[in-house]
Structure 1
């Protein structure tokens, strides 16, 4: 079979070629078998010169295998460095195009268990082109036939002897790739398929299932040829090996992505679903979570006689245990704030005693502020926490708070409270240490950058606490919070006093 040979054109002029790797030309034709072939390596087409000495034939064949292995090694090394589903899909799509000799393609992520996430990305195709392809009935498109025809792997014990949780699982059936050499002449295609192919200018396709027997179906990839063609046996073998590796990598990233989503959901459920409306003050909050979910939290709760309690804090550790501790700490602080919120020192003292008795191995920082918006008066106390920042038309300054240890670090915590009176139109920013540490700067430098960011808020935005918070975040973290980078969460609570 010709390698990617367009109909009616010379093969050597139109056949896509693999890139040269390590000085070896991977397109050198392999000789006929003179010895037993290695397991798993497809036989090569016979060369034009069959009279070459056996030693030369074996050397050429080994060179071809080394080149293929080197190519696969480099491509898989690049793939394994991706740490997101989108990045892995794009890398897989580009590498696959080089292996099968195509210029364009698309990958569809659609896990068979229906739990998502789902996405479609293209290579050399605009967003509108992807939408056009999706108008083809799934039963006619090659990737759609792969997606609809591949079940997910059975749960443990399904269909096999023994129904216990340790029973073996029955692997899913993995379908064969689908090659359409010529869309114009292929039998059984929907007319819409031929119409879309003509509109987008492709004449052939090769679709590969993104599936393994253990992982089940994750999706499918399809590469498009400008002229009638299909990959030869060697290219099919290479893309098959690469596709299995890519699927296993995608399966791992999928589990990580789902775990992150679950952690983020739990974290959001443990925090206020909405901010209260209290006369005389407007509130806004920004909460950014890391990949494992940290223990940063915030709270805003209305108190008797028109008062308002504001709190931010962080517990040590990451992951589910830190989230659980954060939820317990926040719930306890709410109870103490209702009972004795007008005395922030008493609130934090009770919280420190509870933490020391119930979780002696954990520490936490916290800041609680008792605000009376009508009088524009705030009384606050902090335990190992960064000081608030007041932002207004005539000043941008940190609140001078006394130096105190985090909760759980001393046998008895106590620190004096601080009182401040924000002017009309000023915004008080409460934040967690994650905002400073995520900058990557030393502490003093991070504080200076935070002060500069708050000072540079445009006057037109200072009437909106949400706009103030957004400007500070954009200035300090211009690239946003990379969810793939380990680190603390970021909380920024803004309270603008009328």
Structure 2
């Protein structure tokens, strides 16, 4: 709490009001005292986190000169008087410091609110907290008390090896361990101003602290009333030190807001993980082994969970059915529709898989009766590995890509509408003869859409990626799929850089 008289004390908790349609100036006017304040002589509080206040600090008044002992000289013509300090100057100085704190907290919480992922929010929280308490390094340990995860540790100024050294210390000796395990004294702030002067410090903790070069720590729990305990934040000092009361108050307010923000992101991450798990369970757990052909699949789920899918199933007469598709929409409803569509296509493929047009026609009729408000794209291929012959049909789907030593080309398929768009769907099938060593790549539109480019440029990028597959990798369909993903979607876009699902299914003929 700032050192301000009770008549003019303004609580820093009004930051919450400042974030809810009340600016700093409004909060200043609301809490400015009416009447003559008491005279204060304390110095201007220092800035926090190096952020300048939007209100300029007034010049400090000159301190009164000390009275001289003895009797004034008789030759002195005028009496000696002490300069008087204007009562409002110190008050204005104090309030300017308080507004600086408000501005700092407002800016830090705004930066935290702009983070959209759990990892970035944890990094921002430990960085801002270190600035508020005057530390150079720190770490935040996310370990929700309900045991549902996710669990992670993020460091500031600490490498992975440094975090590994800290984890070798018994948890009961670490501040975050006492907080997370509910040990005595772990329900609030934990300050260790001088680790090496502390009695009973675990020898391993002393050894790790000396090795990493920190001599003091300050820890706070991260918890909310609704979510309970989420984790703990610890800041490390290079020399014996601890935050002053004002710093503790500011970082306490910040971590209270940070915990609420982290709780929301934890729920989002749990939902995303749950949907990704459900989507993976609805897809084949393993690909079949069929003589004459090698298979590999890659699936990337978007953050909201989409309806892209693939399938590979053995058929009578040593044949093989390959399918890829995409259901419109995202979230749990799209994932459920994808599961129903894939299960239906498997049944139709077993009954009449040698005619891909009939398979998709039956699927269209089923969708029209059971999913009238949804559409989907699909491609089904009937493969005869012994003859290296493929018969396929597509409903609004992107054409397959043939990758070989002599050719890199798209399969010419007829244009057709997606399933669920027309009263009666039918399109001619296409036959393709693959050469030994060639790979046929099936994929969903998410691969093209994640590039952020036009359709023509995306197709050109995919073609160039396939042409650039090294010859040493062309014997492995999995290596071909990985190379295409990395080339078409650089900078990690193949992992979680887009909202669309991505599916690749590669079949290499021997």
TM-score tier, shorter chain, comes to 0.7 to 0.9
TM (norm. structure 1) is: 0.85
**How many correspondences in the alignment?**
446
The separation in 2 between residues aligned to 1:484 and 1:460, in whole angstroms, is 28
Matching residue within 20, 35, 38 for 2:51: 20
The secondary structure found in structure 1 opposite 2:506 is strand
Q: Go from structure 1 to structure 2 and tell me whether the alpha carbon gap of 1:483 and 1:111 turns closer, same or farther (over 3 Å shift).
A: farther
The separation in 1 between residues aligned to 2:91 and 2:368, in whole angstroms, is 73
Q: Go from structure 1 to structure 2 and tell me whether the alpha carbon gap of 1:266 and 1:58 turns closer, same or farther (over 3 Å shift).
A: same
- For residues 111-140 of structure 1, give each alpha carbon's deviation from its aligned partner in whole angstroms, at most 9, with x where no partner exists: 101111111121112222222222222222
Q: CA deviation at 1:260?
A: 0.4
In structure 2, the residue matched to 1:318 is 330
Q: CA deviation at 1:228?
A: 1.0
The separation in 1 between residues aligned to 2:477 and 2:125, in whole angstroms, is 43
The secondary structure found in structure 1 opposite 2:317 is helix
In structure 2, the residue matched to 1:128 is 161
Gap runs ≥5 in structure 2: 2-42, 61-82
The separation in 2 between residues aligned to 1:461 and 1:487, in whole angstroms, is 29
The separation in 2 between residues aligned to 1:488 and 1:262, in whole angstroms, is 17
Q: CA deviation at 1:390?
A: 0.5
Matching residue within 211, 224, 233 for 1:212: 224
In structure 2, the residue matched to 1:470 is 482
In structure 2, the residue matched to 1:6 is none
- For residues 57-83 of structure 1, give each alpha carbon's deviation from its aligned partner in whole angstroms, at most 9, with x where no partner exists: 210111011101111111111111112
Q: Go from structure 1 to structure 2 and tell me whether the alpha carbon gap of 1:222 and 1:83 turns closer, same or farther (over 3 Å shift).
A: same
The separation in 2 between residues aligned to 1:90 and 1:197, in whole angstroms, is 22
* Contact kept in structure 2, 1:210 and 1:217, CA below 8 Å: yes
More divergent stretch after superposition (252-261 vs 130-139): 130-139
RMSD: 2.4
Q: CA deviation at 1:375?
A: 0.4
In structure 1, the residue matched to 2:146 is 113
In structure 2, the residue matched to 1:167 is none
The separation in 2 between residues aligned to 1:25 and 1:92, in whole angstroms, is 28
The secondary structure found in structure 2 opposite 1:19 is coil
The separation in 2 between residues aligned to 1:197 and 1:457, in whole angstroms, is 49
Matching residue within 227, 240, 252 for 1:240: 252
1:279 aligned to 2:266?
A: no
The secondary structure found in structure 2 opposite 1:261 is helix
The secondary structure found in structure 1 opposite 2:195 is coil
* Contact kept in structure 1, 2:135 and 2:235, CA below 8 Å: yes
Matching residue within 400, 404, 412 for 2:424: 412
Please show how residues 250-399 of structure 1 align to structure 2 within 5 Å.
Answer: 250-399=262-411
In structure 2, the residue matched to 1:37 is none
- For residues 285-336 of structure 1, give each alpha carbon's deviation from its aligned partner in whole angstroms, at most 9, with x where no partner exists: 1111101111111000000111000000011111111111110010000000
Gap runs ≥5 in structure 1: 2-11, 30-49, 152-172
* Contact kept in structure 2, 1:174 and 1:211, CA below 8 Å: no
The secondary structure found in structure 2 opposite 1:184 is helix
Q: Go from structure 1 to structure 2 and tell me whether the alpha carbon gap of 1:114 and 1:471 turns closer, same or farther (over 3 Å shift).
A: same
Q: CA deviation at 1:280?
A: 0.4
- For residues 452-477 of structure 1, give each alpha carbon's deviation from its aligned partner in whole angstroms, at most 9, with x where no partner exists: 11111111111111111111111110
Q: CA deviation at 1:195?
A: 2.6
Q: Go from structure 1 to structure 2 and tell me whether the alpha carbon gap of 1:368 and 1:324 turns closer, same or farther (over 3 Å shift).
A: same
Matching residue within 194, 199, 204 for 1:187: 199
Matching residue within 108, 113, 122 for 1:80: 113
The secondary structure found in structure 2 opposite 1:415 is coil
The separation in 2 between residues aligned to 1:329 and 1:144, in whole angstroms, is 48
In structure 2, the residue matched to 1:230 is 242
The separation in 2 between residues aligned to 1:146 and 1:327, in whole angstroms, is 43
Q: Go from structure 1 to structure 2 and tell me whether the alpha carbon gap of 1:486 and 1:458 turns closer, same or farther (over 3 Å shift).
A: closer
In structure 2, the residue matched to 1:66 is 99
The separation in 1 between residues aligned to 2:237 and 2:56, in whole angstroms, is 23
More divergent stretch after superposition (455-464 vs 212-221): 212-221
- For residues 120-172 of structure 1, give each alpha carbon's deviation from its aligned partner in whole angstroms, at most 9, with x where no partner exists: 12111222222222222222222211111189xxxxxxxxxxxxxxxxxxxxx
In structure 1, the residue matched to 2:11 is none
